Structure 1
C-alpha cells in the first residue's frame, strides 16, 4: 500500500493521505481509517487515480461530503476517493445547469434560485454533494433528482467514462443504476430547469431550509434519514409510534426531534448505530409488521 501511496503522491493528482480517519469526513463523525484517502484536484486526476488504483489491484470506494454515510469502525480497505474542491465547477447556459460531482447541493440550489431558475427548490436544506444526490436520487418535498436530471457523466469501475441519460440512470425511490448494477462515480451532472419568478423561488428554497432546521437535528452529528419511507407510511412516524424517540445504545441516539434520525450524542461508534438500527427494525416489525430498509449507505470493513 505504501508503494501505491508514493505513486499517487508523485503523480501530483491532489491531496493523498494514509490511514486518514473517516470520522473527519462524515457528517455523523464516525468511521475508522481509510488505507489511502485521495481528493483529486480535477476530473482528469480523478480518472488517473482510478487507473492507477485498478492497475494496482486495489479496491476503491467513492465518497462525497459524507452525509447519508455510515463508515465501519474498522475503516475502509484500499483507496477512498473523495470528490471535493477539485470537482466543484458550475456552468449555466439558459435553463441548463452543469455541475461537477463535488459541488454542494444546497449551494447549487441557492445559487441557481438567485438566477431565477426553478426546479431545484426541493434541494434547499439537503446536505451532501451533487454526485451523491444523483447516485441515490436524493429528494424531498415531493420532488427528486430524477425530475430535473438530463444526463450524468460517470466514471465506471473499469476506468471507462460514459454519459448516461436520465432513462439509463434507472431512477426509482432513492436509488439509481449506480448503486448495484453499474457502480461508478458521478463526475458531472446536467440539469434541465425552467425560468421562474426569482423572489418566489428564493422564498421557497428558504422555507425548505427553515423546515429542515425546525424539524431535523442538524445541530448534532448525524447522517440524515436512516430509513427509507415504507410508503404510504413514513419511517419517522413508525419510529415515533413505537415509542423509540430518544432511545439510545452507547453514544448513538434516536433523535427526539425526528424519529428517522440517529445522532452521535457523544463518542458513538458505527457498532452503536448498527445496533440501534437493528433494534428499530425488530421493534417496528414486531409492532406493525413493517420491514424497515436503510436509506443510509453502510460501507467499510
Structure 2
C-alpha cells in the first residue's frame, strides 16, 4: 500500500489518510480502519484516483456520509473513497437541480424549501448524502428519490463513468440497479422539482422533521432503519410486537423509541450489531414466520 499512498499524495487528488478509523466516518460511530481513505477534491480527481488504483490492482469502494452503513471491526482493505466536501456542488436552474453526490440531503432540502421548490419535503431529517440517497432510493412519508430524479452520473466498479436515467436505474423500494445488477456510486444527480408555496413546503418539512425527532433515536449514534419493511408488515412493528424494544447485546441496543433502529448505546462493536441483527431475525421468523432483510449495508473485512 505504501506505493499507492505515495502516488495518491503526489497526484494531489485530495485528502489522503492512512489506517483511518472508519468509526469517524459513519453515523453509527463503528468501524475498523481503512488501509487508505481518500477524500477527492472534485470529480476529475476521482478519475485520477481510479486510474492509480487500477494500476496497482488494489481493491476499493466508496462511501458517502456513512449513514445506512455498518463497517466491520476489521475495517476495509485497500482504498476507501469518501464523497464529501469535494463533491458538494449545487446548481439551481429554475426547477432543475444539479447536485454533487457528497451534498447533504438535509442541507439540500432546507435550501430548496426556502426557494419555494417542492419535491424534497419527504427527505427532511434524512441523514446522509445525495449519492447515498440515489444508491438506495431513500424515501419516507410516501415519496422517494425515484419521484424527482432525472438522471445520475455513476462511477462503476470497473472505473468507468456514465449518466443513467431514472428508468435505467430501475428503482424499487429502497433499491436501485447500483446495489447488485450494476454496482456503482452516484457522483452527481439531476433532480426535477416543481414550484410551490414556500410557507406550505417549510411547514410540511418541519412536520416531517418533528415526526422523526419524536419517533426516532436522534440522540444516539445509529445507521437509520436496519431492516426493509416486509410489506404489508412493518419491520419496526414486528420487532416491537416480539418484545425486543430495548434488547441489548454488548453496546448495541434496539432503540426504546423505534423497533427498526439499533443504536450504539456506548462502546458497541460491529459484531455486537451483527449478533443483535441475527437475534432479531431469528426471533421474528420464529414468532411470525416473517424473514426480515437488512436495509443497512454491511461492508468490510470478515472476522
Q: TM-score range by the shorter chain?
A: over 0.9
Q: What is the SS of the residue equivalent to 1:277?
A: helix
Answer yes or no: is the 8 Å Cα contact 1:151–1:191 preserved in 2. yes
Give 1:155 deviation, angstroms. 1.4
Does residue 133 of structure 1 match 2:104? Answer: no
Residue 177 of structure 2 corresponds to: 177
Residue 106 of structure 1 corresponds to: 106
1:74-223 maps to which residues of 2 (within 5 A)? 74-223=74-223
Residue 230 of structure 1 corresponds to: 230
Q: Deviations over 1:174-229 (max 9, x none)?
A: 11011111111211100011110011001111111111111100100100000000
Residue 283 of structure 2 corresponds to: 283
Runs of 4 or more consecutive aligned structure 1 residues displaced over 2 Å after TM superposition: none
Residue 251 of structure 1 corresponds to: 251
Give 1:11 deviation, angstroms. 0.4
Partners of 1:47 and 1:130 in 2: CA distance: 20
Answer yes or no: is the 8 Å Cα contact 1:99–1:188 preserved in 2. yes
1:16-31 maps to which residues of 2 (within 5 A)? 16-31=16-31
Q: What is the SS of the residue equivalent to 1:6?
A: helix
Partners of 1:158 and 1:61 in 2: CA distance: 11
Partners of 2:241 and 2:185 in 1: CA distance: 38
Partners of 2:14 and 2:75 in 1: CA distance: 21
Q: What is the SS of the residue equivalent to 2:205?
A: helix
1:61-76 maps to which residues of 2 (within 5 A)? 61-76=61-76
Once structures 1 and 2 are overlaid, which stretch shifts more, 284-293 or 203-212? Answer: 203-212
Q: What is the SS of the residue equivalent to 2:224?
A: strand
Q: What is the SS of the residue equivalent to 1:99?
A: strand
Q: Which runs of 5+ in 2 are unaligned?
A: none
Answer yes or no: is the 8 Å Cα contact 1:65–1:129 preserved in 2. yes
Count of residues in correspondence between the two structures: 301
What's the TM-score, normalizing by structure 2? Answer: 0.98
Q: What is the SS of the residue equivalent to 1:182?
A: coil
What's the TM-score, normalizing by structure 1? Answer: 0.99
Once structures 1 and 2 are overlaid, which stretch shifts more, 124-133 or 205-214? Answer: 205-214
Cα-Cα RMSD: 0.6
Residue 260 of structure 1 corresponds to: 260
Give 1:273 deviation, angstroms. 0.2
Residue 58 of structure 1 corresponds to: 58
Partners of 2:248 and 2:286 in 1: CA distance: 19
Once structures 1 and 2 are overlaid, which stretch shifts more, 122-131 or 209-218? Answer: 209-218
Answer yes or no: is the 8 Å Cα contact 1:47–1:155 preserved in 2. no
Partners of 1:33 and 1:287 in 2: CA distance: 38
